[in-house]
Amino acid sequence: MQHEREIDALLSPSEAGSIIDRLMALPHPKDGARNANEWDRAVAARLETALAKTMRSRIVREGRSAA
Quick check: 31 pLDDT over 70?
no
22: number of Cβ within 10 Å: 19
Of 61, 63, 58, 62, the residue nearest 19 (C-alpha): 58
Residue 7 has pLDDT above 70, yes or no: yes
Nearest by Cα to 54 from 66, 43, 62, 42: 62
Q: Which one, of 41, 19, 17, 18, lies nearest residue 28 by Cα?
A: 41
Residue 66 amino acid letter: A
Mean pLDDT of 43-64: 85
Asked whether the whole model's pTM tops 0.75, one would answer no
Q: 32 pLDDT exceeds 60? A: no
